[in-house]
Structure 1
């Protein structure tokens, strides 16, 4: 999002000039050289800026100008990876199926301190009846 905000600042600055190079943007104190390069590339990718000197005259310092095309709104939240399409293509259920419950028995060993012989008793308990 910082690149988007910086691009808006740069495009406003470029709108007041015919064209400018990255070194001129840096010299103006608007942003650092690295940030200016990143912001110009971002604006060009989105069609909001274009390179003025193309072809043989482009050997010198590249100059850029604003096209007047607005930047797209930045995403508010990052797009998470979704495998839903892949799961359905492979026939894998996205929600686990409800399986029938089988009657189960749980055996629990009770330790009885009152038992004089010291042996444990086994008790049965039915669940899910």
Structure 2
């Protein structure tokens, strides 16, 4: 979200210039060098900025300019991974089927530190006195 806001600021700044390098963006006080690099990459990925000097003539620092393409709106909530398409393509049920339950028994063993005669295992003392 912060990169999106910074990219909007950078694109407004670039719209007033023909082109600029990351060092010029940093020198203007608009943002730090690291942030400028990240923001330029973000804007380029979304088609809102482009590199001006490419190929053999690209010696020195790269220059960037605004393309005029608006940035897409940022997502408010991160999209969770969804495997529903794969599950249906593979024929796997998304909801587990209801299977008949087999008759079950639950056994619970109580361990309270006594043996069968009611005596304490450690001291052989009767606790029922």
Q: TM-score, normalised by structure 2?
A: 0.73
Q: Structure 2: 5+ residue runs without aligned partners?
A: 108-129
Cα RMSD for the two superposed structures = 2.3
Q: Which moved more, 1:36-45 or 1:54-63?
A: 54-63
| Separation in structure 1 between the aligned mates of residue 56 and residue 44 of structure 2, nearest angstrom | 20
Matched with 2:126 is none
| Separation in structure 2 between the aligned mates of residue 107 and residue 14 of structure 1, nearest angstrom | 72
Q: Which moved more, 1:89-98 or 1:12-21?
A: 89-98
| Separation in structure 2 between the aligned mates of residue 9 and residue 107 of structure 1, nearest angstrom | 66
Q: Structure 1: 5+ residue runs without aligned partners?
A: 109-129
Distance 1:105 1:36, change over 3 A: closer
Matched with 1:63 is 63
Q: TM-score, normalised by structure 1?
A: 0.73
Give 1 or 2: higher strand fraction. 1
| Separation in structure 2 between the aligned mates of residue 36 and residue 9 of structure 1, nearest angstrom | 11
Matched with 2:98 is 98
User: Per-residue deviation at 1:5?
Assistant: 0.8
State whether structure 2 residue 81 is matched by structure 1 residue 81: yes
| Separation in structure 2 between the aligned mates of residue 45 and residue 107 of structure 1, nearest angstrom | 59
